[in-house]
Chain A
Amino acid sequence: MSVKELHKATQSQEYFVNMGPQHPSTHGVLRLLLTLDGETITKVEPHLGYIHRSIEKMCEKDSYQQIVHLTDRMDYLSCHMNNEAVCLAVEKGLELEVSDRVKVIRTIMSELTRLSSHQLWWGVMGMDLGAITSFLYGFRDREMITDIFEETCGARLTMNYNVPGGVMFDIPANFQTKVKEFITHFRKKLPEYDQLMTNNIIFRNRTEGIGILTKEDAISFGVTGPSGRASGWSNDIRKSHSYSAYDRVDFKEIIRTEGDSFARYKARIDEMWESMNIIEQLIDNVPEGSCREKTKAVIKLPKMEIYQSVETARGELGVYINSDGKKNPYRVKFRSPGFSNLNALNTMAKGGKIADLVTIMSTIDLVIPDIDR
């Protein structure tokens, strides 16, 4: 041991700090146990369970129609995709083919949900880094989408719009005009996001090169969604296991190779442009047809196992249903994107400062109820 090392070993002292469970930048009740050396992080240990509601267990007593509304409460910002995942799984089990109209409506609604989720994320990310302005701009544009949701299904956040066999209500008459109005509006407003944040020097310095996640780590931790794609891993379920109407639209999968916080940020911004492209391709030709196939009042799946995954705003959401032929499932398991993405936090934050940890947590877009279920 050299003198310098000896000095360091006797002078430095590790200590623990609890970040959360009530920390504003964890966006919910997540407790991070930080091991610190000065201000440098040597270890991050997430502790879960503060908002565990045992949704998977509750599903075991619910009928298949009732499960859908519980998934609203997991990743509440991607509630439409969560609903869709369960409905697709049940439809797979029933071998029920939904009409083209349903597929297109579901796809448009999913992309609107993704847009609204990313807008909120953008606003909140600015706030985490100390820029409150972005929060107001993000919510301004998100308001238009929630208004569309409200008019379509009566709820703004926990929508419960999908039912096994279709969607609960048909789209209202002014749906198309409203969505087009929003797209025109948002195409003008999205460059403002770049002007306010992306090009801001303080923001750049706080994100570039911070929290690097290599492609290997992304794959081994299963970091999906924009966070994984920013590390160069192509994992878009919409492309690889296409569902609903994604096979008939033309869109790019956003892949970046840097793997740092800025790449994750930029991936989401670019995804918003792509989502708008998808909606524009579909909105003018929503096929005619019924918006809901008739199902039995009591849905019974045959004895089988089903797995269905969808791409939510945060990554791959998998629904596993094990049915024993009764009207309730025997076991339901959700593979939630937030949980896997959180696992990579230690790898990304090690060696950085506490302020960097806040940046990293913002860029992997944590939603705690999704992690805890």
Chain B
Amino acid sequence: MKAIINYIKEVVGGVKTLINGMKVTGYYISHPKEIITQQYPENRDTLNMVDRFRGEVIMPHDENNEHACTGCQACEIACPNGTIEIIQDRILNEETGKKKKTILKHVYHLSMCTMCNLCIEACPTDAIEMGKGFEHAVFDRSQLTKVLNKPGSKLRAGVEE
């Protein structure tokens, strides 16, 4: 007899705890304002990424198609996984008659980047920064290898190593 009473008690107590849990669910069904789901990608236009967001490494260019990268390779050395490759050339400077190292290509392998921010910290001229793009899916992985300096771009005058 005692066992039966205990059994019934347990069942009733158990059902109570389940109902108690369902109360929480019920509360959110009746308070849809407290649900915080974001409708991505529908909200793309209003999506605001924070200032420090690390999406990819970019090199800003000004209106004259000039950048601040001197080709000093500091970012290449700071990068832990060989994401950045600087391809340089020596170009004759007509005024001084000396050959000077100039950057040809700043190659960035997005597929290898861990967004660690070390290259940006290392750059002495702040030529590169973290971009806010995060939709990096492409159909072919060769598209993930990017050249950061735009074709025909030059080093901004006055930027020294």
Contact = CB atoms under 8 A, between A and B. Distances in A.
A200 interface: yes
Given A133-B25, A196-B24, A200-B17, A154 B117 contact: yes
B36 A140 contact: yes
Contact of B24 (A66, A150, A192): A192
A50 interface: no
B54 A154 contact: yes
Contact of A160 (B20, B50, B117): B117
Given A150-B50, A197-B21, A200-B17, 5 more contacts: A155-B54, A169-B52, A196-B24, A201-B14, A201-B17
B23 A195 contact: yes
A152 interface: yes
Contacts, number: 65
Interface in B24-46: 24-25, 36
B59 to A, nearest CB: 18
Contacts of A341: none
Q: Which of A152, A155, A197, A199 has the most CB of B within 10 A?
A: A155
Interface in B99-126: 114-118, 121-122
Interface string A150-161: 111111001010
- Categorize the interface residue count of chain A: 20 to 34
Contacts of B50: 150-151, 154
Interface string B9-26: 000011001101101110
Interface in A178-212: 192, 195-197, 199-202, 204
Contacts of A195: 20-21, 23-24
Interface string A99-141: 0000000000000000000000000000000000100010010
B7 interface: no
Interface of A: 62, 65-66, 69-70, 72, 133, 137, 140, 143, 150-155, 158, 160, 168-169, 172, 192, 195-197, 199-202, 204, 297
A69 B24 contact: no
B133 interface: no
A168 B80 contact: no
Contacts of A160: 115-117
Nearest to B77: A63
A143 B116 CA distance: 21
Contacts of B144: none
A151 B48 CA distance: 12
B130 interface: yes
Given A168-B117, A199-B17, A143 B36 contact: yes
Interface of B: 13-14, 17-18, 20-21, 23-25, 36, 50-54, 78, 80, 114-118, 121-122, 130
A124 B36 CA distance: 19
Contacts of B121: 168
B161 to A, nearest CB: 15
Nearest to A160: B116
A179 to B, nearest CB: 15
Contacts of B78: 65-66
Contacts of B53: 150, 154
A200 B18 contact: yes
B118 A151 contact: no
Contacts of A137: 24
22 contacts: A62-B80, A65-B78, A65-B118, A66-B116, A66-B118, A70-B80, A133-B25, A137-B24, A140-B36, A151-B50, A152-B52, A153-B52, A154-B115, A158-B114, A168-B121, A169-B52, A172-B52, A195-B21, A196-B21, A197-B21, A200-B17, A200-B18
Nearest to B55: A154
A183 B54 CA distance: 26
A151 B80 CA distance: 24
Nearest to A168: B117
Contacts of A168: 117, 121
Contacts of A133: 25
A140 B28 CA distance: 12
Contact of B114 (A62, A65, A69, A201): A69
Contacts of A150: 50, 52-53
A197 B20 CA distance: 10
A263 to B, nearest CB: 19
A155 B115 contact: yes
Contacts of A197: 21
A204 B13 CA distance: 12
B75 to A, nearest CB: 13
Contacts of B122: 297
A143 B36 CA distance: 10
A204 B78 CA distance: 52
Contacts of B51: 151
Contact of A151 (B18, B25, B52): B52
